[in-house]
Structure 1
Amino acid sequence: MAFKKTLIAAGLSATLAAPALSADNTSGPFSWGADLRLRQVWIDNVGLNAASPTADRTFQRYRTRLWGGYQLTDQISASARLIWEGRHYQAPNASDWPVPGFETWYSGGILFDQLAVDFKQIGGSPLSVKLGRQDLILGNGWLVLEGTPLDGSRTIYFDAARATYALASADTMLDLIFINQSANTGRFPQSLNGKLEDQIEQYETGIVLYARNKSLVPDTDLDGYFIYKHDRPNLTPNNIRVNNGAPFPSPSDSGDIYAAGLRADAKLAPAWSLRAEGAYEWGTRNQRDLSAFGLNSRLTYSLDDRLKNQFHASYEFLSGDDPSTSNDEAFDPLWGRWPQWSELMIYQWPLESRVGEATNLQRLNVGWDAQVHPTTKLMVDYHALWADQNSTRTEAQMVNISGDDRFRGHLFTTWLKTKLNEHVSGHLVGEYLLPGDYYAENRRDDSFFVRVEVVLAW
């Protein structure tokens, strides 16, 4: 073990000390690139209970990616990206993990998180089509961004077919997307080293119809969408999922969810901008009728000064399940299970839902950011958090909340992001949560999250 630690420390030191490489990454029809992401993470009191032997987490993440593309014709291209990420956990101890199989040294799968063919303006028409494994980000990623939430930020891919039609005369883009997502990495293209990992708790099929317009309202982007998502359970014994070297229980979903939504991003005045998105959901989830609503909004004031100071205020509402009805009113984030406003809360949501599954929420936020240096940006935020209802995903999780209050707590977050040049970037993020009385008495210990990241890109 000491030898392994020495070897990794030496490797990291050599990598960080090495000069940035510079290369022409395009040669004829070929293009390529690579990056290496190094992270050190400290988390205090996962589960908000300091007495738990697994409450504190300390680990490193090493992710490397290599990608390439080939331009067959002016309209047809192919692309692929190969990734690997390993982890080393210094805490918790493997013997303290509640489910057998925790790996202190973890070497993940070597897999393609992009493998697609792109057809641009087919036959000179406004229609383009992309087929295969690809990233999908719609709007601000509120409901569509993360296809693989169980592996953290290692990948976000979707197995999908996306058709885009450009209506130039109306300044409008129409997307029709078909998604077919496997619960694990066991289907083509499988990991090259045979590693089988869970990526989501269920098998997912979906259809997204998304329209983007820039001309109906001056200085405003308007989006409208319809989403259908079908969930088919992945029934492993005790709903145990394995990823990141850690086996953990997480239940599958079943059912059919429909969502209709609108999004607007408007420039109200030279210094003022407003972004708002709302969606209504209906259908069935886990043998219950679903009726839920969500709203996400932000007002921004920008100063035209040397530091590019910006101030913002946000409000988000995600309906919770009303325990007095037989229906399910908890808003489903669909493919939005990623740290949209908090890295720390990703680890606390399993107290009442699942990893990264934000729901049953009211959030008020104020924040400030500034370009404190030509290479560096500082962002500071405060979030006041409430639950919409005193309810949880399962009856077993009810012991984690008090049932007497809906205030989740005060959350403070700060980011320091830097980009030294096109080859070297990084960040430092820190978060602190003061839990409120919504949580049970044994789950009100303060919690923090700290992460250091360095990215080398070629």
Structure 2
Amino acid sequence: MMKKISTLALAGLICWPGLAAADTDRVAEIERQMTEMQRAFQAQMEAMQAEIADLKSQQEEVSQEVAASSEAVSSRLASSAWTENINFGGEVVFRGYYLRNTWTFDDDFKADDRDAFRLKGSLWANYQATEDVNIKIQLTNQSWGEGAGVGDNNDNKVFLDNAYINVKNLLGLPLEATLGRQNVIYGSGFVILDGQSQYGSTSIYFDGVKLRWHLNEQMTLDGLYLKDRENTPGHTNRDDITLSGLYFINKECFFTGMRQELYVLNREDETLGKDIWMYGARLSDRFDNGIDYSLEGAIQKGDARWDELNNRTIDQDAYGLKLDAGYTFKNAAWKPRLYTNYTYLSGNKLDTDKNEQWDVFYGGWPQWGDLLAWRYLNVPPNNLSQVYSTFADYSNVVGEAIYSNIQIITLGASASLTPKLSANLSYSDLRFNHTNPGVSKDFGDYYQATFRYQYTRNLSFSLYSALLDPGDAFVNDDNAAEVFWEAAYRF
């Protein structure tokens, strides 16, 4: 403004003669107009500043809305990713049972007879937290009848069946760790399958740590430290039962193509003073021509138990063998398979001062069906002491199927009768290796039959029947029988 006034004054001096006659009011009018122009310009500037401030405020609001929307989208994406990484599943298994003489082979003793429903339900969740971290939790309940019985096996209590964390590439190495409550199964379950056999096959878990070293694509080496039983509260008694050791697997031998398994396992029972080492191997293969086989054998060394009467340790010196072979007619419509099995579990001789009786480790319940397992069950009044006096001397686990001192020869056949219906029939000859004086070694004849109908991918129906005809080794020789039907839905 001052610059404009100075310009006018200069012009006046240059044109002084013409301006001298002008009226002095003209100057005042010009100054008034200039003042109004300055006020208008100032008002316009203020309006523009207000508009700019309003635009900035709107921009901030938009930025906040964009940030909120971005956060919401990110949250939805994260939630979606979490749900995509978790899987759920479970099973409902319903059975109707007919059981007779499962313990005593005596029709007059009714405590081992049962007609009952057995209901088992499980739910599991599996969360893939990262590419290398997996978490699984499984809850299970089993009941016999309506509110009958006590314990995890047969009442309405829900128990933690599995709960573990699996971590791969631990420490940046080809090392995999499974930590927590887990099922552990090797081979055909000859030495490790039933971790909780005292619960009648309801659960098969151990609590502990399994480390797996992936040596290459074909070979793995597992290190195990698992608990079957923990110390009592306060550690007033040393009563842990622990399984530990190493298990090596070569999925396919470079030279022969067979699967090779080698293991060194230890079972320690602090109550008995048991500390047994088992050294074993398993070889198996399946050929294109339909032949399949598995051969497994192990020896047991160490301390069988502490003999308080004679103040000494009884040495363990036992062995076991299991052979399986079969042939499948692949070109036949029913895909029939004929198979055979031979099992030998050592027992005590009468004149030995060491224990030559096979220790079952954890190859208990599932292998040879319920009837044989119940006959070996360590629950009074059921026992085989009338046949061989050392039957339960080396096990303090109530409910454990303590297989030992037996030979089993099995012949069987299976077939797919239709695309959905399958059948399996078998006969086994059972014999004891060593018995009390004057007692026959004839255990008896064992018949089993299974029919399974796969109604849908998830739903199946089964019928199982078994008969154990006792041999001359038993005073009571009434047949033991088991029949059950099953409806199972797994999802």
Shared fold, TM over 0.5: yes
Rounded Cα–Cα distance in structure 2 between residues aligned with 1:59 and 1:220: 44
1:118-153 CA distance string (max 9 Å, x none): 002235532111100000001111100111111112
- 1:210 partnered with 2:236: no
Question: Would you say the 8 A contact 1:118–1:131 is kept in 2?
Answer: yes
Partners of 1:184 and 1:207 in 2: how far apart?
A: 17
For each residue in 1:339-393, what CA deviation from the matched residue of structure 2 results, as whole angstroms up to 9, or x when unmatched?
Answer: 31222111111422464221111011110000112112100000000001115xx
1:141 equivalent to 2:189? Answer yes
Structure 1 residues 185 and 150, CA gap change in structure 2 (3 angstroms): farther
How far apart are residue 183 of structure 1 and its match?
6.0
Range 50-59 or range 109-118, more displaced: 50-59
- What is the one-letter code of the residue matched to 2:294? R
Amino acid at match of 2:160: F
2:455 to 420, 435, 438: 420
SS at match of 1:344: helix
Residue identity opposite 1:320 in structure 2: G
- Equivalent position amino acid for 2:201 in 1: S
Give 2:299's aligned residue: 280
CA–CA separation in structure 1 for the residues paired with 2:337 and 2:477: 33
Match for residue 71 of structure 1?
A: 128
SS at the partner of 2:376?
Answer: helix
CA drift of 1:186 comes to 8.9
SS at 2:370's partner residue? coil
In the alignment, structure 1 residue 366 sits paired with structure 2 residue 366: no
Q: How does 1:238-317 map to 2 (within 5 A)?
A: 253-267=272-286, 270-287=289-306, 288-304=314-330, 305-317=332-344
The CA distance in 1 between the partners of 2:122 and 2:417, in whole Å, is 30
Q: Which residue of 2 aligns with 1:40?
A: 96
Q: 1:6-405 residue pairs with structure 2 within 5 A?
A: 27-46=83-102, 47-88=104-145, 107-122=155-170, 124-168=172-216, 171-182=218-229, 203-213=240-250, 214-233=252-271, 253-267=272-286, 270-287=289-306, 288-304=314-330, 305-350=332-377, 351-352=383-384, 353=391, 355-390=400-435, 403-405=438-440
Query: Which of 448, 466, 478 matches 1:431?
Result: 466
Counterpart Cα distance in 1 of 2:273 and 2:96 = 36
> Distance in 2 between the 1:164 and 1:72 partners?
20
What residue in structure 2 maps to residue 242 of structure 1? none
Q: Could you tell me whether the CA contact under 8 Å between 1:268 and 1:274 is conserved in 2?
A: no
Distance 2:90 2:232 in 1: 22
How far, CA to CA, are the matches of 1:268 and 1:74 in structure 2?
Answer: 35
- 3-state SS of the aligned residue for 1:27? helix
Calculate the TM-score normalised by the size of structure 1. 0.77
Secondary structure class of the residue paired with 1:150: helix
Max Rg structure:
2
Deviation at 1:268, TM superposition (A): 5.6
Q: Which stretches in structure 2 are left out of the alignment for 5+ residues?
A: 1-81, 307-313, 378-382, 385-390, 392-398
The CA RMSD over aligned residues, in Å, is 2.4
Which digits, 9 at most, give the CA deviation of each residue in 1:228-248, with x for residues without a partner? Answer: 111123xxxxxxxxxxxxxxx
In 2: Cα distance, 1:341 partner to 1:83 partner? 24
What's the secondary structure of 2:404's corresponding residue?
A: coil
Q: Runs of at least 4 residues of structure 1 off by over 4 A?
A: 183-187
- The structural deviation recorded for 1:220 is 0.6
Query: How far is the alpha carbon of 1:216 from its aligned partner?
Result: 4.1
Aligned to 1:247: none
Counterpart of 2:369, as a letter, is S
Amino acid aligned to 1:82: L
- Whole-angstrom CA distance in 1 between matches of 2:438 and 2:299: 26
Q: 1:371 to 1:81 in 2, by over 3 A?
A: same
**Stretch of structure 1 that moved more, 56-65 or 222-231:** 56-65
Q: Which has the higher strand share?
A: 1
**Greater RCO (CA < 8 Å, at least 6 residues apart):** 1
The answer as to whether partners of 2:201 and 2:366 remain within 8 angstroms in 1 is no
| Residue identity matched to 2:175 | L
Count residues in correspondence.
Answer: 377
Letter in 2 for 1:267: R
- The separation in 2 between residues aligned to 1:41 and 1:112, in whole angstroms, is 26
- Aligned residue for 2:48? none
Under a length normalisation based on structure 2, what TM-score does the superposition of the two structures give?
A: 0.72
Name the aligned partner's letter for residue 71 of structure 1.
Answer: Q
Tell me the percent identity: 24
Structure 1: distance between partners of 2:478 and 2:263: 41
